[in-house]
Amino acid sequence: MSGHVRHLYVHLPFCAHRCGYCDFVTVVGREGQHGRYVDALLAELELEHGLLAERLETVFLGGGTPTFTDGRELRRLLAALPSAAEVTVEANPETVTPALARLLRDAGVTRVSLGAQSFQPDLLRVLERRASPAVVRRAFYHLRDANFDNISLDLLHGIPGQSAAALAADIDEALALAPEHISYYELEAKQGTRFAHAHGAELVRQAEAMEGYFDLVVERLNAAGYRWYETANFCLAEADGRDLRAQHNLAYWLGRDYLGLGIGAVSTLGDQRRRNAPRLRAYLGSLAGREAPPREVEALDARTRAEERLMLGLRLDTGLPLSEARRSVDDDALGRVERLGLATLSADGNGRRTLVLTPRGRRLGGAVTVELLA
Ligand SMILES: C[S@@+](CC[C@H](N)C(=O)[O-])C[C@H]1O[C@@H](n2cnc3c(N)ncnc32)[C@H](O)[C@@H]1O
Ligand code: SF4
């Protein structure tokens, strides 16, 4: 009997080098181990296969740098994974050649998320990125030449030294490429990282100066026809009816179940959350013996699930049904945020009452959720 999970995440941790600001589960180099890692992923898929529905909606290959993975191994992995309506691969610009773009396209990938971060050479250097602005643009064109009609750009604001003019220039560059989707993240410098150490003072100064910078991002992208559909995500509103929101991430924000494969990968399965240990050797060892990798399992009680549903649902411009919001907040709290002009109650397409943050509420983001949960 097949299972119910319709969203699959696959973690490919390998990177050519480690960027200073990065806090993801990554492994530098180890070209000799890419094949064994793909074997392990496929063994894990076999162990978990029963959880997956017959037809998947989304598959997402994230990293790390999935496109740094040895080409033959990447092709073998893509051929063995279940197909889905949306198959996304994260790519670093310097790895995107015409051959790589064709490989992805031929393997059934429908969407590429390209890690541009910035188009300013000095800021790319601060981030310790390997791709120059020209390489970022060239990667985008290679993907277009391979007929990708759903490309997302990842960009960062809050980079140490980033002026308002530099941010505006990045927005211009991104718009000139006309990607279907843009993720605009605020750079997070985790305490204790090499990056936070090197740029600490500048990051504090920056945090104050940057207030209002994100408004510029929202204004400019809205004016160019992009829908601000999630706190950090924008997509073109397509005239031919294609929904260009990131369907895989949308599943997370809507609280759907998903299965994660690979080191550090997270799965949410009903009232259970599992996190694979971020240890390559242990992962390879367990799966070589056809055993589940070491992982933490957390039970999600009803309250935690309701709070997560609220936190994630309020990130979306569609909000969440009032009936679901009420599981974690009371009428007083709802009244308070409404009176403050941070949220409104409206009816969705099916006439259900929906709690939606106002643009001001969405800019405050997590703070409104905290107010609701207090
Ligand atoms: C899983 S990461 C890696 C993607 C790819 N390896 C790359 O570097 O382009 C996906 C995206 O998360 C964002 N990201 C990574 N580190 C971040 C940080 N410290 N703060 C905010 N966003 C970050 C970047 O925009 C990045 O493109
Ligand atoms: S390439 Fe991407 S995943 Fe790898 S270290 Fe840099 S930011 Fe992190």
Distance CA(142)–CA(136), nearest Å, equals: 10
149: confidence class by pLDDT, cuts 50, 70, 90: very high
- Ranges of beta strands (E only) in 158-280 are 181-186, 226-230, 233-236, 259-261, 266-269, 272-276
pLDDT of residue 179 exceeding 60, the answer is yes
Q: What architecture does CATH give domain 302-373?
A: Orthogonal Bundle (1.10)
Select the more confidently predicted residue: 371 or 298: 298
Q: Judge whether 189 and 156 are in contact, CB under 8 Å.
A: no
Q: How confident is the model at residue 291 (pLDDT cuts 50, 70, 90)?
A: very high
Using only C-alpha atoms, the chain has a radius of gyration, in whole angstroms, of 21
Dist CA 110 CA 149 (whole Å): 8
Ligand 1 mean position, distance from CA 340 (Å): 34
Q: Which CATH class is domain 7-252?
A: alpha beta
Both tokens of residue 317? Answer: 């411009």
Taking the C-alpha atoms of residue 269 and residue 273, their distance in angstroms, rounded to an integer, is 6
Alpha carbon separation from 360 to 122, 205, 336, 344 (Å, rounded): 32, 23, 15, 11
pLDDT at 184: 97
Which atom of ligand 2 is found nearest the CA of 23? 8
**Segments making up each domain of the chain, as ranges:** 7-252, 302-373
Contact 152, 180 (CB under 8 A): yes
Q: Is residue 154 packed enough to be buried (19+ CB in 10 Å), middle (13-18) or exposed (0-12)?
A: middle
* Ligand 2 center to 358 CA (angstroms): 34
Amino acid at 115: G
21 versus 253: the higher-pLDDT residue is 253
Q: Using one digit for the tens of pLDDT, what is the confidence trace for 343-361? A: 998 887 778 889 999 988 9
Nearest atom in ligand 1 to 24's CA: 1
Residue 317 predicted with pLDDT over 80: yes
Nearest atom, ligand 1, residue 195 CA: 19
Distance CA(253)–CA(316), nearest Å, equals: 8
pLDDT value at residue 1: 46
Per the model's pLDDT, the better-predicted residue between 112 and 371 turns out to be 112
Q: Which residues line ligand 1 (CB under 6 A)?
A: 21-24, 62-63, 65, 90, 92, 115, 117, 154, 156, 185, 187-188
Kind plus residue range of the DSSP H or E element containing 153: strand 151-157
The pTM (predicted TM-score) of the whole model is 0.95
Q: Determine the average pLDDT of the residues in 115-120.
A: 97
Collapsed DSSP state (helix, strand, coil) of residue 362: helix
pLDDT tens, 130-146? 899 999 999 999 999 99
pLDDT digits (tens, 9 = 90+) for 36-66: 999 999 999 999 999 999 999 999 999 999 9
Q: Give residue-wise pLDDT tens across range 296-305.
A: 999 999 999 9
Taking the centre of ligand 1 as the mean of its atom positions, its distance from the CA of residue 182, in whole angstroms, is 13
